[in-house]
Amino acid sequence: MNLEEMSMNEIWTEIDKQLDENRGPIEGLNATYSLELTGDEGGIFGLKFSNGQADTIQGDPGEVDCALKMNVAEFRKLLGGNLNTTAAFMMGKVKVKGNIGLALKLENVLKQYQF
């Protein structure tokens, strides 16, 4: 799977599929995230985790526990396991509003999937 060649719609469909097929990494995670992605194919997306279930939202998810803002290229790196969110945050490449611990938790969860 090449994240660079996939459209954002295809990426979100794949995220939804993988979270649905393997619920182990999201057990016990109860949080809602918004991701504001800038650049080509950017937009606002959401991830909602509740009781071992995950919902992907294309559009504004409403009230969230953690909001992240980054460009599309950084998001692709995050999914591919090639982005250290702490370093990216310190360099201003990733902005976080709300619970920073949840942002780190999301990185750890996503690393357990093959995107």
Please report whether residue 21 resides in a domain.
yes
Please report whether residue 84 resides in a domain.
yes
Predicted pLDDT at 85: 85
pLDDT (tens digit per residue) in 83-109: 888 899 999 999 999 998 999 999 999
Distances (CA, A) of 29 to 25, 71, 105, 109: 8, 25, 9, 9
Sign of the Cα pseudo-torsion (89, 92, 36, 84, in order):
negative
**CATH number of the CATH domain containing 94:** 3.30.1050.10
Confidence class for position 2, pLDDT limits 50, 70, 90: confident
Structural domains in the chain (count): 1
Residues 27, 54: contact at Cβ < 8 Å?
A: no
pLDDT (tens digit per residue) in 26-35: 999 999 999 9
Predicted pLDDT at 115: 86
Question: What rounded mean pLDDT belongs to the chain?
Answer: 94
Predicted pLDDT at 1: 72
- Which residues does 67 contact at the CB level (< 8 Å), separation at least 6? 33, 34, 35, 36, 96, 97, 98
Where in the sequence is the domain holding 33, given as residue range(s)?
A: 8-110
Please report whether residue 115 resides in a domain.
no
Distances (CA, A) of 2 to 8, 12, 37, 89: 12, 14, 19, 25
Please report whether residue 20 resides in a domain.
yes
Please report whether residue 1 resides in a domain.
no
Confidence class for position 113, pLDDT limits 50, 70, 90: very high
Predicted pLDDT at 86: 87
